[in-house]
Structure 1
Amino acid sequence: MTDTTTFPDPVYKDTVLGPLFDHARHDHAEGFRRIDRAHLVVLHHTGILPTDAAAQIAAALVEIDRQIDPNALTYTGEVEDYFFLREAELKARVGADTGGRLHTARSRNDIDHTLFKMSLKSRLDAMLAEARALLSALIDTAERESGTLIVAYTHGQPAQPTTFGHYLSAAIEVLIRDIERLQEARCAVDLSSMGAAAITTSGFPIDRQLMADLLGFAAPQRNSYSCIAAVDYITASYSAVELLFLHLGRLVQDFQVWSSFEVGQIYVPNAFVQISSIMPQKRNPVPIEHMRHLASQTVGRARMMKDIMHNTPFTDMNDSEGETQAAGYSAFEVGNRVLRLLAAFVPALRINDDRVAQNIDRACITITELADTLVRQEGISFRQAHEIAAQTAKAVVAAQQSLAAGGYKPFRTAFRDVVGRDTQMQLAGFAEAVSPAYFVQVRDRFGGPAAAPMREAIAAYRTALNNFEQTAQEHAAQQALDTAFTALMETR
């Protein structure tokens, strides 16, 4: 029979405690080290811990970090988890009384959430750096391609001509907002839980601001109950991650369609193409598929984190801790691969100008500007102009001709049928009105694809990129902690 009186039960050890221990030593060993050292500095600074005891503990912590490699540890069940292993090692070196004093005015509750925030913040910073690099690559490419014509689609059908730069600018604006959402989520993460203890802070005169400063947080989180119960720092972060990759996935899907043989709007260079093992003529732009499915994986993993938080009690709970945190980190690992690949892929793309020109001619997608020009030049209503344009397009498509080459004659007929008089527009004027270059040129309103609004847009995007903060907060905090901890060592 299984011994049910001795902790831990072997099955519980293998299924829960062992994996939790492994996650902690792998993901949070450095966090434990920093929290122990910072808390020791604060205990001494506030007079809670006398100098001699603080110095003994400091020396022991250094010894523990030098002698014990977290990566080499195997969970044995002798202690409950990684925290208690460190505490046991400390007591073994300085005695139970002195070693036990380090835990004054703190709890596993505030330690855990602070650990999770430290790890999450570093991952958000890494993703923000990758997102900024992608944003920079998109802006450069949009500027380079600001005059390159493409077919814009709506409902899967050719709609109007625009430029590749104008299209990318739309994606740039979404990415800017996604980065802003990531940064806003980071603000929620950047609040230290230390000092909340189990729930209600402590009767000891702990300095929560100093603790936050030493750990590189912007500030302590105010309400102590919130420090251990509010998981909005998790839901906000993964919501922002989910939206980022949901939006990027739509861009990637367009590249999949545009690179198809039938559409052929973009050319993917050989560096991003794999050849079929049996069909030598096939150029497979498989990085597009990898970006799409990896973006979907990231969306799914981020959404999972929000689902885990659903219908949980508003208190400290295991649902938001340990293995849940470890499961969520994979969203950052996979998502960063997508960001790096996309930042290399987009600048390498080229537009197939000949295929774009063919598709524009075949689809009559400049016909909207013919109607607009008629309103301006002929003084007729848009509805009349729209009817004339529709009849012209229908005749051209039926005759299997291009609008530019064969549209003028049916246009004159349609104009006479609708308006009851001959048009004043000559062949040269008609050719200009239905040209894709003219279509783009006259759309020079704010946000349009013409040269002037595109220059203004690119400048605005570069300003947004430059304004995104790249904080040195973590490095400065680490230096401050090292200085204060070293000072304690020198008091021995």
Structure 2
Amino acid sequence: MSDPRLSDTSVFPDPTYKETVLAPLFDGAKQHHVEGFRAIDRAHLVMLAETGILDATQAAEIARALDSIDAEIDPSALVYTGEVEDFFFLIERELKKRLGPDLAGRLHTARSRNDIDHTLFKLGLRDRLNVLIEKALALHGALIAAAEREKSTLIVAYTHGQPAQPTTFGHYLAAIIECVGRDIERLFEAYRIVDLSPMGAAAITTTGFPTNRARVAELLGFAAPLENSYSCIAGVDYITATYSAIELMFLHLGRPIQDFQVWTSFEVGQIYVPNSLVQISSIMPQKRNPVPIEHLRHLASQTVGRAHAMLTVMHNTPFTDMNDSEGETQALGYGAFASAYRVLDLLAALVGQIRINTDRVRANISRSCITITELADSLVRREGLSFREGHEIAAAVARAVVAMEGDLVNDGFGPFTEAFRSATGRDSALDRAAFAEIVSPDYFVAVRTRFGGPAPEPLSAAIDGYRQHAAGLAARHDDLLRRQRDAAQMLKERFDALKGAA
């Protein structure tokens, strides 16, 4: 049998491979990673010059050629032709045009597309995480402001879809604040993993040249180099950590969004959405549709789905450098960021504007008897009953009031006196006024002064703590951004100095 290699006259790239793989990858690189390529080339060149791997004349000529490429080529206008394999080789080809193959090729000393690619992807994720954290902090702040504004505003709290107990809207929002705060912490933990530079790993095992990996990391604004060189090109936990954090955040946000949808329904009517966030039916003029909440719900779900898709792509892949974690997969993940930004912006706007329909809330509290738990508790404290005795008396009162479709405050005292006498064989010391106070929603909230409760004292203390946490998170992010700005300035200065060093 003849060796097929001897008769192979095909020329790279195959037209179908070009259209289905190479062209989309090229378009993705020019759309998402041009600035990253530029920064990596410059940082690597500065390091090569500082370590003496390139002399001053060589470094200066390469620096000036990189500048001319930037000035003369608009990446957004490029169309993939197949003349070069990808965007990386396009830049190398342009360097060869200006410098010749020998000097142009020296920029690639001690590096590989493997470490370049993962550094590119980390830079792309870092930039997007910066935006995501900024928007998440803005939502966190909007929730804190709303909780302060609504800390005394009564609402119905639900369990299993049914009215359960009264609390305040501020107390409910505080629960969301705590979840969002923890989700932001998870974003920072993902950021910590992203913030380690793979540059210098080269293909797998670093290099025999005297490179300085820490210097490249510093110039690119990373916290440090990622230590193990195999991990630099094989470990995708920076991807899974990022998208796991995103998936969890938007899964969690979808739950209060669903509450808001239910609470705006005509039958519940607990939340009022202002006209600026309401669309009117095209055929039914009486309808006020809080459509932005629906968009929040499906956009949050889209974000969860897109983030989870990234984890699915990473599943069961080999522990090595592979295309599964590279260009097109990275572009897929960016869609999760895009929808995430929209959710965070819109939800922050919504919580700043919605208000509680207090009349409807009080009516719902009254007819659902949801303050009855406090009657049972008060009978324990004031009458010396066991909780089970108090619970049974309170249950009898609730059944009677609901049966008559009455109001617990105004109609419950009679059933209470009968139930108490039947259960204990004596009259209660509570008169009508004391009974009315005990079963009022204001009293229900006011006596719940324990840590984490809705009463003014613990809730105000909690909100103060949330503000401090938010300030700490913001300061932490400011420090990261400052380091990256300083690194960008340092890289610019060192690169500009190279150009005049010859």
What TM-score comes out, normalization by structure 2 length?
0.97
Partner of 1:423: 428
Partner of 1:251: 256
Partner of 1:213: 218
- Of the three residues 204, 209, 218, the one matched with 2:209 is 204
**Cα separation, 1, equivalents of 2:238 and 2:405:** 59
Partner of 2:493: 483
Structure 1 spans left out of the alignment, 5+ residues? none
- Of the three residues 208, 227, 232, the one matched with 1:227 is 232
Partner of 1:186: 191
Partner of 1:459: 464
1:319 counterpart = 2:329:
no
What SS class does the counterpart of residue 161 from structure 1 fall into? strand
What SS class does the counterpart of residue 56 from structure 1 fall into? helix
- Of the three residues 36, 45, 48, the one matched with 2:50 is 45
5 Å-filtered alignment, 1:133-144, equals 133-144=138-149
Cα deviation code 1:45-79 (max 9, x no counterpart): 00101111111100000000110010010000000
What SS class does the counterpart of residue 155 from structure 2 fall into? strand
| CA apart distance, 1:399 | 1.2
What SS class does the counterpart of residue 151 from structure 1 fall into? strand
- Of the three residues 320, 339, 351, the one matched with 1:334 is 339
Q: Mean Cα displacement is larger for which, 172-181 or 463-472?
A: 463-472
5 Å-filtered alignment, 1:261-300, equals 261-300=266-305
- Of the three residues 11, 16, 24, the one matched with 1:11 is 16
**Cα separation, 1, equivalents of 2:149 and 2:85:** 59
Structure 2 spans left out of the alignment, 5+ residues? 1-7
Partner of 1:75: 80
1:122 counterpart = 2:127:
yes
- Of the three residues 33, 49, 54, the one matched with 2:38 is 33
Partner of 2:167: 162
**Cα separation, 2, equivalents of 1:409 and 1:344:** 47
What TM-score comes out, normalization by structure 1 length?
0.99
What SS class does the counterpart of residue 372 from structure 1 fall into? helix
| CA apart distance, 1:417 | 1.1
Question: What residue identity is the alignment partner of 2:10?
Answer: T
- Of the three residues 359, 364, 372, the one matched with 1:367 is 372
What SS class does the counterpart of residue 358 from structure 1 fall into? helix
| CA apart distance, 1:4 | 6.2
**Cα separation, 2, equivalents of 1:266 and 1:424:** 39
**Cα separation, 2, equivalents of 1:397 and 1:455:** 35
Question: What residue identity is the alignment partner of 1:267?
Answer: Y
**Cα separation, 1, equivalents of 2:41 and 2:150:** 53
Question: In the comparison of the two structures, how many residue pairs are matched?
Answer: 490
What SS class does the counterpart of residue 246 from structure 1 fall into? helix
Percentage of pairs with the same residue: 67
What SS class does the counterpart of residue 114 from structure 2 fall into? helix
5 Å-filtered alignment, 1:170-181, equals 170-181=175-186
- Of the three residues 114, 117, 121, the one matched with 1:109 is 114
- Of the three residues 376, 382, 388, the one matched with 1:377 is 382
Cα deviation code 1:80-126 (max 9, x no counterpart): 00000000100110110000000000000000000000000000010
What SS class does the counterpart of residue 263 from structure 1 fall into? coil
**Cα separation, 2, equivalents of 1:288 and 1:390:** 37
Cα deviation code 1:224-243 (max 9, x no counterpart): 00000000000000000001
Question: What residue identity is the alignment partner of 2:498?
Answer: L
**Cα separation, 1, equivalents of 2:438 and 2:100:** 89
**Cα separation, 1, equivalents of 2:400 and 2:99:** 94
Question: What residue identity is the alignment partner of 2:262?
Answer: V
**Cα separation, 1, equivalents of 2:123 and 2:404:** 67
What SS class does the counterpart of residue 331 from structure 1 fall into? helix
1:401 counterpart = 2:406:
yes
Question: What residue identity is the alignment partner of 1:446?
Answer: F
Runs of 4+ in 1 over 6 A off after TM superposition: none
**Cα separation, 2, equivalents of 1:397 and 1:53:** 88
**Cα separation, 2, equivalents of 1:281 and 1:409:** 41
Question: What residue identity is the alignment partner of 1:383?
Answer: R
Cα deviation code 1:396-420 (max 9, x no counterpart): 1111111101100110110111112
Question: What residue identity is the alignment partner of 1:56?
Answer: E
What is the CA RMSD across the aligned residues, in angstroms?
0.7
Partner of 2:154: 149
Question: What residue identity is the alignment partner of 2:52?
Answer: G
